[in-house]
Amino acid sequence: MRLRAVFGRQTGNPQEEQVMYLTGADEGLQREIDAFVAIDSHAHPQPLGAEPAGVAESPIQPYEFELPKRMRPYNPEYLDAWSALWGYEHRDFEPGHLANLMETKASIMASHGLAYNPWVLDRLNLKSMVNINADIQETLPMARFPWCMHAEWMLWPFLCDPMPDGPSRRLFDTMVRKLKQFDREDVPGTVDAYLEQVVFASLRSGKESGAIGIKFNTPYSRDLSFGSYDRADIEPLYAKGRRGRKQGTLSPSEHKAIQDYVFRAIALEAGRLDLAVQMHTGIGAKRQFRVSGSNPLLMETVFREASQTRFLLLHGGWPFVTETVTLTSYANVYTDFSCADLFQYPRSLSNQIRQALEWFPEKLMYGTDAYSDVAFGMLSGVPVRANPLHGWEEKAWMMDRTGRQALGLALSGMMADGHISGREAEAYIGMVMRNTVKEFHRLEG
């Protein structure tokens, strides 16, 4: 197969496709990747009405903490996304132009009504997008947005946070809201009762409602080192925490021990219920994030203990890529390149993808991690800024394009080096972009 560098600019309309080039990509292979109708393994699409309305006089409202280059609000790739999705005709961030663009986007959303979010997937050439959310959302129909439950709140029966107004306050507040769904004002009296009546009951309810998995973003609040404890070790700590539940009487180490015990119990129960577990691994954008605590190697004993539970190590664990790829040696461990397709440009990401494909190719999934800028406020415990032009739709467009380009470069390089044939490359496209996530999450169709 002749080598030529090419990628298609994704507009959602083949007649409007603009061809550009990346050195080293095989033309035929890249066109096949661009045309492939994919399933996104992990993303955060917003329900209609959840995005704060923009301000015409200030259409871009940056957060006050530093962000990596591609995540900054004036990344020129937004101009490409706006052009492809909303027909933006300018190559600038002039406030007047962006104010008009906000009106255009709002008009398009209104014209599609409840069909808007599925329409976005069609524009991106996506069959479906695994939707990470605490609850079922009417405007994210599960046929196109299969639901993966946020489960981090289950680790917060008690308030314990060195930053009382930080993100773990939000997790505790979610716990309070979930308890009310069970007609409870307080957690049960023992840790076993808490597991059965709140945690496992929530997992069963989610499963019965159509959930395909659960998701943890643990490194945003603590590390991934989940110690192993006996119930006798945890019961007195749980009783102490319950006595001062809303005052935060537990020390961080005591609270962590309870969380470790609860998490391991959840991991085992998820396997029994055939719910896959998605884990945030690697870097995160937050003021108090500790990168060292996001190394997935810290979870190795969990993978061994919960051997009947499927785990997805999100984002390829970047920057712990080699560690993540190595862990896919476990039969129940998988990975994807969601958000790594925003952290990195295509050529850098292609190296990460190639490492995974050269190890266990059937363990790698395509993903975007498309998110709204609202996430920066929620994860960092600061007021949310209104940035409707930096929504999940624009992020999905940028991440999808990067992921497809990077996969093309990785496979083209493996072909050029004689490591795989053209037929094998085509098989890998199907595995990465659809088949593996279907098997992992037991998706139909």
Sheet holding 38-43, edge to edge: 38-43, 126-133, 147-150, 213-216, 276-279, 311-313, 333-336, 364-365
Residue at token pair 């399933």: 39
CATH of the domain at 413: 3.20.20.140
Residue 417: CB atoms within 10 Å? 9
Q: 116-147: per-residue pLDDT in tens? A: 999 999 999 999 999 999 899 999 999 999 99
CA distance 179 to 174: 9
Query: Is 23 within the bounds of a domain?
Result: no
Query: Is 10 within the bounds of a domain?
Result: no
Distances (CA, A) of 5 to 23, 30, 38, 84, 125: 4, 8, 22, 22, 21
Which is it for the CA torsion 310, 45, 295, 334, positive or negative?
positive
Query: Is 224 within the bounds of a domain?
Result: yes
CA distance 265 to 259: 10
Query: Is 20 within the bounds of a domain?
Result: no
User: Which residue positions in the chain have pLDDT lower than 50?
Assistant: 1-17, 163-165
What range does the domain containing 146 cover?
36-441
Q: What is the pLDDT of residue 3?
A: 34
Q: What is the pLDDT of residue 375?
A: 85
Q: What is the pLDDT of residue 87?
A: 98
Contact between residue 431 and residue 37 where contact means Cβ atoms under 8 Å apart: no
Query: Is 21 within the bounds of a domain?
Result: no
Query: Is 405 within the bounds of a domain?
Result: yes
Contact between residue 43 and residue 130 where contact means Cβ atoms under 8 Å apart: yes
99 class by beta-carbon count within 10 Å (0-12 exposed, 13-18 middle, 19+ buried): middle
Query: Is 14 within the bounds of a domain?
Result: no
End-to-end CA distance of the chain: 32
- Spell out the residues 6+ positions from residue 99 whose beta carbon is closer than 8 angstroms to its own: 56, 57, 59
Domain count, the chain: 1
Cis before 319? omega within 30: yes
Q: 31-44: per-residue pLDDT in tens? A: 999 999 999 999 99
Query: Is 240 within the bounds of a domain?
Result: yes
Q: What is the pLDDT of residue 7?
A: 38
Q: Is 21 strand, coil or helix?
A: coil
Which is it for the CA torsion 96, 100, 101, 106, positive or negative?
positive
pTM for the whole thing? 0.94
CA distance 424 to 416: 13
What are the start-end ranges of the H helices in 364-391?
374-380
What share of residues in the chain are helix, strand, coil (percent, to 5)? 50, 10, 40
